[in-house]
Structure 1
Amino acid sequence: MKHKEHRLGVSETNLVTRHIALVTPVETTRLNAAIAEIDQLYGLDEVTFDEKSAKLDFSYDASRLCIDCVEEILTNHEIQPKHDWWTHFKEGLYRFVDQNVKDNARREPWSCHRTPPHIRK
């Protein structure tokens, strides 16, 4: 199995891939500026735009970033995600998973097979 090197600040354990369909037509200069700004986020692994399907594809460490960070940049550049039910459903799922990854990254792993702290010698 081939191991891929990730950018600084990206842990493969917390790596997630997201796809956002954008409202078309998208102005190329705004899109390029938004992608350049998204590409500078700490914790982002990669970002690409598929012109054929008008989808923004990106991967990031969910313990450091969330989908809201990317959507904020898109909004600042006046680029909007599609407003259909499927896109809204996926965004809600992405937010849930991102928050779950963040919460789990902060906690110490627990095991029911470990001796309780007050019994340890």
Structure 2
Amino acid sequence: MMKTQDSMKPVGTWEVRRRIKIPALVHAADAMAVEDAVRALSGVRNMATDVEKHQLIVRYDASQSAYQAIVEALESAGFPPLDNWWCRFKGSWFEFTDTNARDNAHAPPPACCNKPPK
């Protein structure tokens, strides 16, 4: 069942929202299976499935989880994402931004006031 868009807005520093097209998502039972598979991942904050649009909207902390982990969970549950050039392109971009967010989240704090550390 689709939730309001306000509950799907990223609220934390490293939170992101991804829309994933899933062609095999056609029944409410499929939606439950998809949600169960993704909910098991660490860092997942919220999700909503839309059976009519065949999509999953997931909000997660990119410093703890990654787009590729969500795709692997969907594939292992029997619901692979749509495989066309646009979805592959978006998936590559999502992986790139998630890697950057994870690297930045775990980076040491910068030096203060443009002074090199002692």
TM-score bracket for this pair, using the shorter chain length: 0.7 to 0.9
Aligned to 2:3: none
Shift of 1:23: 1.7
- Which residue of the partner structure matches residue 97 of structure 1? 97
Decide whether the 8 Å contact of 1:21 with 1:54 is kept in 2. Answer: yes
Deviation at 1:28, TM superposition (A): 4.4
Identity among equivalent positions (%) equals: 28
Q: Distance in 2 between matches of 1:26 and 1:68?
A: 23
TM-score normalised by structure 1 residue count: 0.78
| Deviation of the 1:108 alpha carbon | 1.9
The answer for the alignment partner of 2:109 in structure 1 is 109
The 10-residue stretch of structure 1 (103-112 or 65-74) with the greater mean CA deviation from structure 2: 103-112
- Residues 57-91 of structure 1: per-residue CA shift (max 9 Å, x gap): 00000000001111111111111111111111110
Q: Secondary structure at the match of 2:34?
A: helix
Look up the match of 2:63. Answer: 63
The TM-score normalised by the length of structure 2 is 0.80
CA–CA separation in structure 2 for the residues paired with 1:13 and 1:44: 14
Aligned length: 111
Distance 1:11 1:65, change over 3 A: farther
Structure 1 residues 55, 25: closer, same or farther in 2, change over 3 A?
closer
Measure, in 2, the Cα distance between the counterparts of 1:83 and 1:40. Answer: 24
**Structure 2: runs of 5 or more not aligned:** 1-5
Of the structure 1 ranges 34-43 and 82-91, higher mean CA displacement relative to structure 2 is found in 34-43
Instruction: For residue 11 of structure 1, report the CA deviation from its aligned partner.
Output: 7.4
Which runs of 5 or more residues in structure 1 are unaligned?
none
Query: What amino acid does structure 2 have at the position aligned with 1:43?
Result: G
Q: Distance in 2 between matches of 1:20 and 1:84?
A: 12
Look at both structures and tell me which one has the larger radius of gyration over its CA atoms: 1
Q: Is the alpha carbon distance of 1:116 and 1:41 closer, same or farther for their aligned partners in structure 2, counting shifts above 3 Å?
A: same
